[in-house]
Structure 1
Amino acid sequence: MCYSDVISLEQLPVHSLLNPLRRAFGQHNQVILEAPTGAGKSTALPLAMLDWAEIEGKILMLEPRRVAARSVAHYIASQRGCAIGEEIGFRVRGESRSRATTKLEIVTEGILTRMIQQDPELEGIGLIIFDEIHERHLTTDLGLALALEIQGSFREDLKILAMSATLSGLPLDSVMPEAISLKSEGRSFPVDIIYNAVSASKNRSQHQSHSQWIEHMGRCILDLLKGDNAASEGSDDLSNGSLLAFLPGQGEIMRLHDFLASRLDLNQFSLCPLYGNLPAKAQDKAIAAADDGKRKIVLSTNVAESSLTIEGITMVVDSGYKRQARFNPKTGVTKLSLKRISQASAAQRSGRAGRLAPGHCLRLWSQEEQGRLLKADEPEILHTDLLPMVHDGACWGVKSLCELPLLTQPSQANESVAWQLLQMLDVVDEQRKITAHGQQAYELGCHPRLAHMLLKAKSLSTGTGSDELTGLACLLAGVLESRSRSRQGTDIGNYLREAGQGESGQQVRRWMKKLKVNMSLSEIIAGAASSDIAFLLALAYPDRIAKSRGMSGYQLANGTGVILPDNDPLSHVDWLVVADFQESEGRTSGRVYLAAEIDSAAFKEQLSFLVSTKNYCGWDESKGRFFAETQKCIGQIVLSKTASKKPEPSQIKAAITEQILAKGLGLLNMDDKLVQLQNRVKLAAKLDSEHGWPDIDDASLLANLDDWLGPYLGDVRSLSQLKALDCYTLLLNCLEWDKQRRLDSLLPCHWPMATGTKAKITYDDSGRALLNVRLQEALGMAQSPVLANGKLTVTMELLSPARRPLALTADLASFWQGPYVEVKKEMKGRYPKHLWPDDPANTLPTRFTKKKTFNAKS
């Protein structure tokens, strides 16, 4: 790690907390430490702890990223004066430099979880340090939960230190209520922040916009390096300093790299990419001090956001974007989308420029947008694929993740999908108890899908005298777990040879050793048959068997649509098994990255167990009636169907629900009265939140059809009968009687005017209450009506005698004093028989003409 040798560890702010921290561990085994960027918590603190008598046993420190784990370990070892792998070591996926006598071991978060599963008492471990816990990675939350379980059950003496750059929005008190909290000041230099947003265009496509901000970023970097930017005015530091640029992913890094490489003198500047999939040597080059006299430009993802100090950085250029993976439980796949970072992340990034000297940060968004960013990043547990985590939970013995002391409870939908898939793969039984197969799968140390495939291949190979199928399964798993691949099309068979090389090759050999495969990789590759590849992938991805839809791509067994590039050799085959695909923002179909062709004959032979028979009821548009048939299916793909007898009421009910989910709530009687009820309840939930109003918006109604609509479908036999259902009353009855009365009181549908008229109040989906009334009936009103216990002012839509709109105002007093004068001038001549007084605020209202009003008074 490249910390300046000029600054001694004793000068770092965290040094003042060493004694208080020792005293804290003398009183309690849980400590929470808040230490901002530059405090020295990742380096000075564990280095000092090596000599503390209070800590008996090995110290484990968790880092969220491999590059940080390796760098921190090397730096502390150098400060300690020992070789890496002796007293100081590290362990990351695919690389370990540690031994039994190692006193401080830096590990990535997933390593800890496996250590706990293998040894629930963590024998020999005295302290676990969770560094950068604010990043809220899935493995961080799980590792902390399991460590707390151990501390509470087996190891009361185990010490836990949770460290964070910020505690804002971090609910550590909920799982560590008795922990002692300490706070350190940061050690960072001032950073000037400049905003320079890329100009927007409404007519620009997403691709053009994406290319434009990368080009904008490139030009900003060139200006900074030349001293032509506002951030560099009056500063000599920038003429010699290095630059760190934050981008969302590898693709953007390489595009910016190419842009800069063609415009910079590479004899003066060194361009260094930095991302997770980069080989270790290239990562080391990016974070090491430049020793060739060149100024360094580091193009990084958020791996450089925390725990790393890159020598010589005085400038940060921040794109403001990150690539977020969000799991879709309906399709069972993760969608990647470009998202704005949070304010906390922006602060971390800008702080990189002030770690060793005063610096400058250029943010490529507006200062106004900065205020609209989320305060902190969402925890991964809310939006990521929970399958590996649920597998961990099952191995630990829980039947729901809520049984663990988690900082944040997971998405219920995502967790439910994970348990269902584990049951399909025979990893857990119907009671969510881990099976022997599931335990063996966990010990293989790979994704549950791939572990299932490996074990099934081994089982099928037993007794055949050949390990070829098992070896092929190991190679396929190597392809799918590889952190980087070449581009050789979507056919997974093209990647077998490279899967046997480098880091992935080492992992393949470890699996082969565990599964006792006595063949060489070259023999396995030479004998690999496409039918075997497809069969093995179908074992791992039964929900991703795909049938061609002609020109529109393929349909997966889980119902998702996917596409392949037109020129790909697999783009015109009838059947595929898709091993890797992703959904992207703005695209209706996912893009396939890895697949294999499969012969449909396999569904009658070795894959016949995937075929199910079901009775289906649907709606025939052409004949206008429901029909029933027996289908043979793989998931949602229909292989064959035969007509059956008249559908049963229960089948029709299921078919109606399917139609509504497919075509929307428009099939129901969603009249204006019902829409008004939805808008009123939504507004009540906002203005009267303490009373717990239900969600009855369209999305919630679709998600809960069985609850509110299902009980009333028993006698429905046609879509016309469905349309006749009084859905307003059904929804109103979802509210208890006291809630109905409270809603009418808070947000009434009518307002009593002094004239006796009950003026209608309309609520729109933006939260506005609109009262329509003729202007003459509003005379004498000093202010607009106020609803919801004074929290909502009604907007008055004042109408002409012919009930045409004249004015719209939520401030009636101001209207009478100003705009009314112009309205009166225009309307008095058009409606001379009606009242247009000079003092409207003090005139009695009327529903009649002047003559009728006068006669009534007489």
Structure 2
Amino acid sequence: MTLPITELYRQIAQLPHAGVKVLQAPPGSGKSTALPLFLLQQGYAADGLIVMLQPRRVAALSIAHYLAEQLGERVGERIGYQIRGQRKTGTQTRLVVVTEGVLLQWLQRDPELPGISTILFDEFHERNLFSDLSLALLLDVLPLRTYLSVWVMSATIDVDALVDFLSPHSEQITALTAAGRQYPIDYHYVPLQAQEDWLQATLRAILLATGLAQQGILVFVPGQREMRWLQQRLADASQWPVQLLHGGLTVAQQQQVVQGSDAATAAQRIILSTNIAETSITVQHIDTVVDSGRERVAVYDPNLRTSKLMTQRVSQASAQQRAGRAGRLQAGHCVRLGSEAEYQRLSAFQAAEIDYSDLAPLILQAKLWGTEVAAMAWLTPPNAGLLAHAEDWLTAFGLLEQGALTDAGRWVASAAAEPRIALVAYHGLQLSVAERAQLARYLATIEEPPRSQQLELKHLSELCQQQRHARWQQRWQYWGRQLKLSEAELNGCGEHCLSALLWGFFDRIGQRQGELRYRLTSGGAARYYDAPQQAPEYLLALRLTFPAEHNEAVLQCVVNLDELDWQQHPALPIKQQTVARWQGQQQRLQRVKQVTLGRLQLRSEVLSGEVSAVELQQALIAYVQEHGLEVLTLSKTAHQWLARCRLLAEYGDDVFAQFQQSRLLAELADWALPFWQDIRSLKQLQQWDPLPALQARLDYQQQQQLQQACPSHWLAPSGRSVAIDYQAVTPIAAVKLQEVFGEPQSPTLVYGKVTLTLDLLSPAARLLQRTSDLASFWQTAYPQVRKEMRGRYPKHPWPEHPQQSLATTKTTRQLRKDSH
């Protein structure tokens, strides 16, 4: 059967090679697997390589092997690939599939990209940080390389917006759209039942899919925790073999699942996958997809200086990509969790990583390029708050000085690693050969830790040396080269060099607070997941995770600082100052000389003398910053008001981002201190109502905007004003069922972006149904509710057609009386 992309071949053949093309082609159309070979045939590689970017390693490998097979060749001949730590190309190679970091390094090495004629940005809708950065750098050099051919491709992309963005950078820009997918897909919807957890509903959806699938089932869930939960229950509920596909597997393990190469996996199977299988790759022998409608994203937390894993609903674009996996090779099925109306209300596209990621790498690359982030062309401008935080971090760690790269900054920006890890390596160049050999092992272990109950870096490194798994070995050899070690020196005996790690991690020094919890230099907190054999007084947190189910970061890899003379290390910004603090059980305010490292107090000494007014103000601020806003008397109204502001900020209004907890604590002197002129004690502080001070941060127009986008109350069809609870997972209003008669669809907030969930109550105010899809409730659930409630509450109206009925707070008798 002919691929839909071939319908564009005649048009593409008539276009000049140079310039920018924007291609929208649905899943299964052949944009990733057929178009590159057509461009090769059309001579796009006559004057240089065709380079195809993929957002994930498994996709890059899969596509490279598929394209080579179509030519009857092995990878490394005309088709090659290059990903971090792996490269397979040859003298005959004309088309190379790479990950985005590879192109970024090529651009920084030589902006003119000699030997390259065509660049394909595949799956651009994923909006990875480095894809946006690579495109911004490429647009900067496009005027110098007018003969370069640039393709921006995706199954789900806003073509008009992208063309408008790219037009100023190229005189030759063409928009192309391919036809629909190759094979039809039947959609099935599995709404959640009352009080049912979404993961339990996913299990139900998978069992439904086993009755539909002729081949395998691909199940999309957020992460490994959900995979393990489902795997355990499917072992009892189904005879189908279960496989896992996620980023924690080696490339070889991922390829084995994708290809289904052995006899056992070529038959019917269930693959539990993260969104790693959402785009580009074709998982063999799959004709049914189960979509939980959820994904996990890493959202950067400036306070903790690490990313927190957040579970969220996918976009319509992602849902479309997932469904497309079922129709790649034959007609298929897609089972979606939730109702059809819920999917129609999903956001059109996912947020770009530049909105919520650590932007330190972005700044380093921009400055290495010789420009500023603000001067570059961005489809989505970087988050201003995260940008400012990243610049402060880079300055504090000596990578920037007065806004310019230092020698350390240039070295770190050129390394293929996270900035703080590369910074350790930069300073490690001053160590002895034996110390550098040990440091190479440590750095590889921090990047690619083994599965172990042991968290001490020394023990983890020894385990890695024994196991020598492929990814660890690649990084170990990389750091050996960066640390200027020969093969013999790298394999030689190592010497103690733990203190070298402080150069890149001094903001992660932890001071014990209780048995398992540590307060970090940065002000955040982390804890052991399980009690260690011995918890040191001080540790260095080298790897942190922030699982979705935890309120604090979890320690994954640590160094025991009690064994080191670490407080004299030159990297540490240790300060000595005199301040006022509340001391002892009586919480008396006293002057104290203290030695501090960030937010940690290392030593202190009580001094005599009166506390000044300025010291009192500083003490108030320090107390709230240390204990959080919870020490203040936040009324229910204040909590709701803050939740409304934060919801508006979540949907892109930067004005309301100032009400995030971290911002409020950091800016206490600006908004709270002016209201503390009469406060002299902790008791007075704890009784202070911050709501007027918080509201004063908004002008009249902004307060009106808040009320319009996130009103405190919803006007029900009955005419009654119903309070909205913004502190729930999603905004909720509780209202008696009769009061929403005549309302065809669920009400919305934030200019239609957020659905207001309704708790529909009985006349006795008991919960009948919670719904975020009122239209579906009227059609599916209401007939049964009406049947059960008419006999229980006969004095109240239960019309057969509630959408056409009048909302009311009255009984049937009162309504009849009013009609007369």
Percent same amino acid at aligned positions? Answer: 29
Partner of 2:743: none
1:405 alignment partner, SS class: coil
1:166 alignment partner, SS class: coil
- Aligned 8 A contact 1:575 1:599 in 2: yes
1:507 pairs, out of 475, 480, 485, with: 475
Deviations 1:16-70 (CA, angstroms, capped at 9, x unpaired): 22232344445x6112111111111112211111133466321111011111111
CA positional deviation for 1:495: 2.2
- Aligned 8 A contact 1:667 1:719 in 2: no
Deviations 1:608-656 (CA, angstroms, capped at 9, x unpaired): 8442223333345866764332221222111101234544444333333
1:83 pairs, out of 71, 74, 84, with: 74
Q: C-alpha separation between the residues in 2 aligned to 1:363 and 1:44?
A: 29
Partner of 2:287: 314
1:246 pairs, out of 197, 216, 220, with: 220
- Aligned 8 A contact 2:578 2:593 in 1: yes
Partner of 1:442: 413
- Aligned 8 A contact 1:488 1:494 in 2: no
Question: Which letter maps to 2:28?
Answer: G
Question: Which letter maps to 1:505?
Answer: Q
User: Are the structure 2 counterparts of residues 224 and 33 from structure 1 closer, same or farther at C-alpha, using a change threshold of 3 Å?
Assistant: closer
TM-score (norm 1): 0.74
2:429 alignment partner, SS class: helix
User: Are the structure 2 counterparts of residues 695 and 145 from structure 1 closer, same or farther at C-alpha, using a change threshold of 3 Å?
Assistant: closer
CA positional deviation for 1:481: 1.7
Deviations 1:191-241 (CA, angstroms, capped at 9, x unpaired): 112223554648xxxxxx58x63xx6456545544x3xxxx3xxxxx34x2
Q: C-alpha separation between the residues in 2 aligned to 1:395 and 1:163?
A: 28
Partner of 2:616: 652
2:34 pairs, out of 41, 44, 49, with: 44
- Aligned 8 A contact 2:55 2:100 in 1: yes
1:307 alignment partner, SS class: coil
TM-score (norm 2): 0.77
Q: C-alpha separation between the residues in 1 aligned to 2:706 and 2:305?
A: 39
Partner of 2:455: 490
Deviations 1:157-196 (CA, angstroms, capped at 9, x unpaired): 3221111112249842453135321111123322112223
- Aligned 8 A contact 2:186 2:332 in 1: yes
Partner of 1:388: 361
Q: C-alpha separation between the residues in 2 aligned to 1:132 and 1:340?
A: 19
2:566 paired with 1:594: no
Partner of 1:156: 146
Partner of 2:532: 568
Give runs of aligned pairs for residues 610-759 of structure 1, distance below 5 A.
610-619=573-582, 626-644=589-607, 645-661=609-625, 704-710=667-673
Partner of 1:777: none
Q: C-alpha separation between the residues in 1 aligned to 2:708 and 2:190?
A: 50
Give runs of aligned pairs for residues 177-192 of structure 1, distance below 5 A.
177-178=167-168, 179-192=173-186
2:470 paired with 1:517: no
Give runs of aligned pairs for residues 404-419 of structure 1, distance below 5 A.
404-419=376-391
User: Are the structure 2 counterparts of residues 815 and 821 from structure 1 closer, same or farther at C-alpha, using a change threshold of 3 Å?
Assistant: farther
Question: Which letter maps to 2:560?
Answer: E
- Aligned 8 A contact 1:444 1:511 in 2: no
Deviations 1:593-619 (CA, angstroms, capped at 9, x unpaired): 111211276234346844222333334
CA positional deviation for 1:307: 1.0
- Aligned 8 A contact 2:300 2:308 in 1: yes
Q: C-alpha separation between the residues in 1 aligned to 2:4 and 2:407?
A: 51
Question: Which letter maps to 2:433?
Answer: D
- Aligned 8 A contact 1:271 1:296 in 2: no
- Aligned 8 A contact 1:341 1:377 in 2: yes
Question: Which letter maps to 1:292?
Answer: A
Larger displacement relative to structure 2 (130-139 or 71-80): 71-80
1:551 alignment partner, SS class: coil
Q: C-alpha separation between the residues in 1 aligned to 2:721 and 2:595?
A: 51
User: Are the structure 2 counterparts of residues 186 and 657 from structure 1 closer, same or farther at C-alpha, using a change threshold of 3 Å?
Assistant: same
2:165 paired with 1:193: no
Partner of 2:763: none
User: Are the structure 2 counterparts of residues 723 and 454 from structure 1 closer, same or farther at C-alpha, using a change threshold of 3 Å?
Assistant: closer
Deviations 1:677-708 (CA, angstroms, capped at 9, x unpaired): 979x989x99xx9x999889796866754444
- Aligned 8 A contact 1:620 1:626 in 2: yes
Q: C-alpha separation between the residues in 2 aligned to 1:90 and 1:746?
A: 49
Q: C-alpha separation between the residues in 2 aligned to 1:730 and 1:264?
A: 58
CA positional deviation for 1:550: 2.4
Question: Which letter maps to 1:628?
Answer: R
Deviations 1:814-836 (CA, angstroms, capped at 9, x unpaired): 999977995999xxxxxxxxxxx
User: Are the structure 2 counterparts of residues 76 and 602 from structure 1 closer, same or farther at C-alpha, using a change threshold of 3 Å?
Assistant: same
Give runs of aligned pairs for residues 292-307 of structure 1, distance below 5 A.
292=263, 294-297=266-269, 298-307=271-280
User: Are the structure 2 counterparts of residues 46 and 729 from structure 1 closer, same or farther at C-alpha, using a change threshold of 3 Å?
Assistant: closer
Larger displacement relative to structure 2 (376-385 or 632-641): 376-385
2:142 alignment partner, SS class: helix
Deviations 1:85-124 (CA, angstroms, capped at 9, x unpaired): 1221111111101246522111011111111111111112
Partner of 1:474: 440
- Aligned 8 A contact 1:272 1:285 in 2: no
Q: C-alpha separation between the residues in 1 aligned to 2:588 and 2:616?
A: 10
User: Are the structure 2 counterparts of residues 621 and 403 from structure 1 closer, same or farther at C-alpha, using a change threshold of 3 Å?
Assistant: farther
Deviations 1:769-823 (CA, angstroms, capped at 9, x unpaired): xxxxxxxxxxxxxxxxxxxxxxxxxxxxxxxxxxxxxxxxxxxxx9999779959
CA positional deviation for 1:339: 2.6
Question: Which letter maps to 1:39?
Answer: S
1:71 alignment partner, SS class: helix
Give runs of aligned pairs for residues 195-234 of structure 1, distance below 5 A.
195-197=189-191, 199=193, 201=195, 213=200, 217=202, 220-222=205-207, 224-225=209-210, 227=211, 232=212
CA positional deviation for 1:474: 0.9
1:541 alignment partner, SS class: helix
Partner of 1:402: 374
Give runs of aligned pairs for residues 552-563 of structure 1, distance below 5 A.
552-563=516-527
2:106 paired with 1:106: no
Partner of 2:320: 347
In structure 1, stretches of 5+ residues that fail to align are: 1-6, 203-208, 233-237, 748-760, 769-813, 826-837, 841-858
User: Are the structure 2 counterparts of residues 703 and 419 from structure 1 closer, same or farther at C-alpha, using a change threshold of 3 Å?
Assistant: closer
- Aligned 8 A contact 1:332 1:417 in 2: no
- Aligned 8 A contact 1:334 1:582 in 2: yes
* RMSD, aligned CA: 4.5
In structure 2, stretches of 5+ residues that fail to align are: 711-719, 732-805
2:150 alignment partner, SS class: strand
Partner of 2:766: none
- Aligned 8 A contact 2:60 2:99 in 1: yes
- Aligned 8 A contact 1:325 1:334 in 2: yes
Partner of 2:781: none
- Aligned 8 A contact 2:292 2:337 in 1: yes
CA positional deviation for 1:384: 2.0
Larger displacement relative to structure 2 (544-553 or 169-178): 169-178
Q: C-alpha separation between the residues in 1 aligned to 2:13 and 2:258?
A: 32
